[in-house]
Amino acid sequence: MLRRIEEAKTRAEDDLRAVADLKKIEAWRIAHLGKKSAVMEALRGLPALSLEERKQAGARANEVKTLLEEAYRQKLESLKEAELAAAIASESLDVTLPGHPFALGRLHPTTQAVAEVCQVFAAMGFEVVEGPEVESEYYNFEALNIPRDHPARDMWATLWVDQSIAQSDQRVLLRTHTSPMQIRTMEERRPPVRAVFPGKVYRYEATDATHEWMFHQVEGLAIDTGITMADLKGTLYEFARRLFGADRKARFRCDYFPFVEPGVEMAIDCFACKGAGCRLCKGSGWIEILGAGMVHPEVLRRMGCDPETHSGFAFGMGVERIPMLRYGVEDIRHFYSNDFRFLRKF
């Protein structure tokens, strides 16, 4: 029995020295300290021995068991330390290497265009004013010379807000243009006024390559004494030169808008073909960029201004049209598709 115990001890120590990782040491523990190990088998065989042999064999078996358990504990700790050291070595940081760059976000192309337009007019003395996107019928239509029975209402396909949640006596809608801010601004201050009004506008219409139900506008207003059509043309011509290039030409043609009289549409010579005619300008050599006109006398009266002493001009443009023209974007829906392949170009 004593010889078997010693052989088991020697075999266990030899096997332990050969263990090199945590998976193998667990197998060693089961083989040499488990219920079916040689030491445990020796302890179970003690009742078959004489009393004297039992004392000697039992004492030695317990002693060997204790020695092997301690050897197991020390080996386990050393293997864990070795594994930790290897993990630390593999994940060590070389502080002399350059850091990982963080991807930086960019402004949306429409936001960039709105900011650029506003900066051009700010440099000419216009302030930038923003207002509510949910408007009353009065500010969106009636104050702008468009009563309920006016045929010009057909020019705007309107998104109305549920009157039960509007909390207003007036019918409420998602604004169809940023022109209501012209009225709101003139209610709060007296002339002279020079301001531009950027923001989102909404139209209840089907979307296609050139139409969206939500898009951005920048409208402008200048009210003072002695303002003429020459001031309107000079301001917008300077805007076109600063935004599209110093060699731009401008053309003004008569157009109709209910809140201006006379009204004009402004076009610039095509910067792709220099006026020769191409697909961008549809062969005309000109690209329409905005509508404008002298503020209607009736609108001036609603603003609290005497049209006999004050005059002014107003203008408005769809902002998405600017990057579409500049970069040859053929479908306005790309701006709101959230396609990173498109947005990264800007």
**Active site residues per annotation:** 156, 177, 203, 217, 260, 314
Long-range contacts of residues 274-278, Cβ cutoff 8 Å, at least 24 apart = 275/249
β-strand partners of 197: 219
Greatest alpha-carbon span in the chain = 133
The three-point CA angle 55-60-62 to 5° equals 95
Are 259 and 249 in contact, with CB atoms under 8 Å apart? no
Are 23 and 76 in contact, with CB atoms under 8 Å apart? no
Helix (H), strand (E), coil (C) string for 59-111: HHHHHHHHHHHHHHHHHHHHHHHHHHHHHHHHCCCCCCCCCCCCCCCCCCHHH
Are 201 and 175 in contact, with CB atoms under 8 Å apart? yes
The dihedral through the CA atoms of 180, 185, 190, 191 has a sign that is negative
